[in-house]
Amino acid sequence: QRQVVARQGRGGEASASVRLPKEDMWIAQLDVTGFGREVRELGQRLEKEQGQADQDHLHKLLFWSDMCAVVGVATMWMAPNPVSVVALSLWTHSRWTMIGHHCCHGGYNRTDETGRYSSRGFAVGSLWRRSMDWLDWMLPEAWSVEHNNLHHHRLGERSDPDLIEQNVEVWDKTAGGRAPKDVLTILLMFIWKWYYYAPNTYKELKVAEYRKAGRPLPEGMDPHTAATLLNTFTSWFKGTGVVDPWELITKVVGPYFLLHFVVLPLPLALLSPDFFWNAVTNLVIADVLSNFHDFVVIATNHAGEDLYRFERGCKPKSPTFYLRAVTSSANFATGGDLNDFMHGWLNYQIEHHVWPDLSMLSYQKAQPQLQAICERYGVPYVQEDVFTRLRKTYDIFTSRASMRRYPDELEREEDMMLWAEDREAGATPRRAAAEVAKVAVAA
């Protein structure tokens, strides 16, 4: 069964015949300009409504995070046990996914009069601030470049450093069939922050520094290839890397390792060597659990056969930007501070990508309103339980499924743009044309 639909061009596309699968039919009918306008207006209202309630809500969640730390640290001298492990894991999890994440995005810049939780100073500038605010495997300054800048502005594009489907392409060359990919995916769930995310975020920081200084990248380096702990060493010694392994160890992963696994439990050694080693064991198990917990609620946000990838860049805060934030993201079950705490507030990933610099309380308010806008315009709003999203993400990791490709011919041309490195490489924007696209839709 085939259906032919004529639609008005969006700002000057070429007249073309584009064959769409049934699940993409909504694109041909979309008023992307009207959609973008309503989403932008909602964001402006939410921003104006922010105030003391948002700050109080942040402090409530800080208290919960601190209580996890108190319970975990107070009991970690005991033989390995679930109370200590879960509390320590939730402490690490919450400091990143909720506190560090939203403070570094500027979610409290408008409401925090003290500046303590401002993006301009939270966890950055010194090892002291990192230790007091958000201590994890990643360097906060590097994470802000990789996540706040590249991932958020280039979501689903080739230059999105968190595009899982692209990042695991290297496994096709090294792992072979599905069985090795299954093993690698499962292993990665428990080690990914220190093995992949810390080196990759730091690599993106170094690449940004190279470009800012006008320095060419090393010959043979592909900046889109994900960095790992292993290839950081191999690429550096081959002369194709930008990260000195010793610098990665001493500046990025080393401080967390020493402070979290050695200095934190060290006072217990004065009481008993057994207490010290019990604490170290609890901390190590908690870190493995935290890696898994974070993987389940983070890696699953932008992977699945029902989410989209894109060929070109788009202007921030344009209608296309808002559309991509929705159609390349997935939410989990939302509502209730306890539920949202356990999901690391990553169950509002759609709202967060639409408006990255709002508070956690604002996302709770925004979710039903944004979903209603999507329903009115026929835009897919994906919301499923976290375990369903984990299965779909696993299928992307292991090549059992592929993400959808947004038809480039139907992009809103006035929203398209080239990133600086693409212009330097000689790329040119696709020719903008006119009139009407006739879309042949295969049901």
Per-residue exposure over 332-368, b if at least 16 CB sit within 10 Å of its own CB, e if not: bebeeeeebbbbbbbbbbbbbbbbbbbbbbbbbbbbe
Name the one residue in this structure whose structure tokens are 């790329």.
Answer: 427
| 295 DSSP assignment | H
Q: What are phi and psi of 5, to 5 degrees?
A: -125, 130
Q: Identify the three-state secondary structure at position 140.
A: helix
Bridge partners, 438 (sequence order) = 6, 17
User: What pLDDT does 155 receive?
Assistant: 97
Asked whether the beta carbons of 224 and 211 are under 8 A apart, the reply is no
- Taken as a whole, the chain contains a residue count of 443
How far are the Cα atoms of 59, 73, 79, 125 from residue 198, in angstroms, in the given order? Answer: 28, 25, 30, 17
Q: What DSSP letter does each residue of 198-248 carry, written as one string? A: HHHHHHHHHHHHHHHTTPPPPTT--TTSPP-HHHHHHHHHHT--SS-HHHI
| 76 DSSP assignment | T
Residue type, 289: L
Per-residue exposure over 26-50, b if at least 16 CB sit within 10 Å of its own CB, e if not: ebbebebbebbebbbebbeebeeeb
Q: Kindly state the tokens that stand for 416.
A: 């398209």
CA count, 13 A, side-chain hemisphere, 370: 32
Task: Average pLDDT across each block of 10 residues of the chain; the chain has 443 residues. List them in order.
Answer: 46 57 93 97 97 97 98 98 98 97 96 93 95 97 96 95 91 68 94 97 96 92 91 92 96 98 98 98 98 97 97 96 98 97 98 98 98 98 98 96 95 92 66 38 43
User: What pLDDT does 123 receive?
Assistant: 96
Name the one residue in this structure whose structure tokens are 């010694």.
Answer: 237
426's torsion region: left (phi>0), alpha (psi -120 to 50) or beta? Answer: left
Contacts (Cβ under 8 Å, ≥6 apart) of 283: 76, 88, 260, 261, 264, 265
| C-alpha span between 280 and 277 (Å, rounded) | 5
User: What pLDDT does 432 receive?
Assistant: 35
Neighbouring CB atoms inside 10 A of 23's CB total 12
pTM over cut 0.75: yes
| C-alpha span between 391 and 407 (Å, rounded) | 26
| C-alpha span between 369 and 375 (Å, rounded) | 10
| C-alpha span between 421 and 427 (Å, rounded) | 9
Q: What are phi and psi of 335, to 5 degrees?
A: 110, 130
